[in-house]
Amino acid sequence: MSVVSRTFRIVLALAAAAVLAGCAHPISLSTDAAPPQRVDAYLVQKKVAYAMTEADRAKQAITPGGGGDRISYYPYRDLEKSIRDALRAVYQDVVVINSAADANAVKASGAAFVFTPVITTNSSSSSVLTWPPTDFSTEIACTVTDSAGVEVTRVKATGKGAAEFSEFKHDLALSAKRASADVANQLASEIRRNEKLR
C-alpha cells in the first residue's frame, strides 16, 4: 500500500470518527426523583462505604439513541447519588473512599462494609426521527468487602426506564432518569434481602 493511500485511509477513519462523535448528544442520568425510603427504625446500625475514584467519575459512556444518533453521559458521576441514596436507605451512615484495596482508607473510614460498584448501561429508541432514547437500562453490580478487605458477597440491581415523545419533549433524558431512580430502589432492596449485609 502506498504512503498516499495509507494516509488517505487514516484521514478517512479520523473523519468518520469525528462525524460519529458529533452525533453523540450529551445527557445526564442524575435524577430528582425521591430516593429510596429511609426509615430510621429499620436502619442497620453500621457505617458503610462505597468506593469511587475520580477516574471512575470521568468515564464516559456512549450508547444508542434514536434516528441513528447516540447519547453520551458519565455513568459513575451521574449515578453516584443513586448509589449513596440506596445505601442510606439501609445503613445508619455512608461515606465514600477511593478504593476498597486501600487498607488505611478503609480503616480510617470506620466502615464495616465497602461496596465497589461496576456500572453497565444501555439505551435504545423506537423513534427514527428524534434522538432521545425511549428505553434505558442501568445495572449496578457491587462487590462487597469487609473491613479487612475480604469479599463478603456480591449484589446486583437493574433499573429500567421508558419514555415516549410526548413525555420527553420537555426532558430529553427522561427514560435514563427513570432508570436511575429504579436502580436505586432495586439496589436498596437487594441489599436488604442479603443476610450477609446486616
Looking at the predicted structure, is the pLDDT value of residue 16 above 80?
Answer: no
Look up residue 58 and give its amino acid.
A
pLDDT surpassing 50 at residue 131: yes
- Rounded to the nearest integer, the mean pLDDT of the chain is 90
Domains and CATH numbers, the chain: 25-197 (3.40.50)
Q: How far is CA 32 from the centre of its chain?
A: 15
pLDDT of residue 6: 47
* Short-list 65, 73, 63, CA closest to 128: 65
36-84 pLDDT per residue, tens:
999 999 999 999 999 999 999 999 999 999 989 999 999 999 999 999 9
> Model-level pTM greater than 0.75?
yes
Q: Is the pLDDT of residue 154 over 70?
A: yes
Beta bridge partners, 155, equal 142
Amino acid at 19: V
Q: Are 34 and 88 in contact (CB under 8 A)?
A: no
Cell numbers that stand for 131 in this block = 434522538
Q: What is the 3-state secondary structure (H, E, C) of the chain?
A: CCHHHHHHHHHHHHHHHHHHHHCEEECCCCCCCCCCCCCHHHCEEEEEEEECCHHHHCCCEEEECCCCCEEEECHHHHHHHHHHHHHHCCEEEEEEECCCCCHHHHHHHCCCEEEEEEEEEEEECCCCCCCCCCEEEEEEEEEEEECCCCEEEEEEEEEEEECCHHHHCCCCCHHHHHHHHHHHHHHHHHHHHCHHHC
Report percent pLDDT > 70 for the chain: 88
Q: How confident is the model at residue 2 (pLDDT cuts 50, 70, 90)?
A: low
Q: CA–CA separation, 170 vs 12, rounded Å?
A: 37
Give me the half-sphere count of Cα atoms (radius 13 Å) on the Cβ side of residue 131. 13
More confident residue, 22 or 89: 89
Which three cell numbers mark 55? 477516574
pLDDT value of position 170? 82
Q: Has residue 86 got a pLDDT over 60?
A: yes
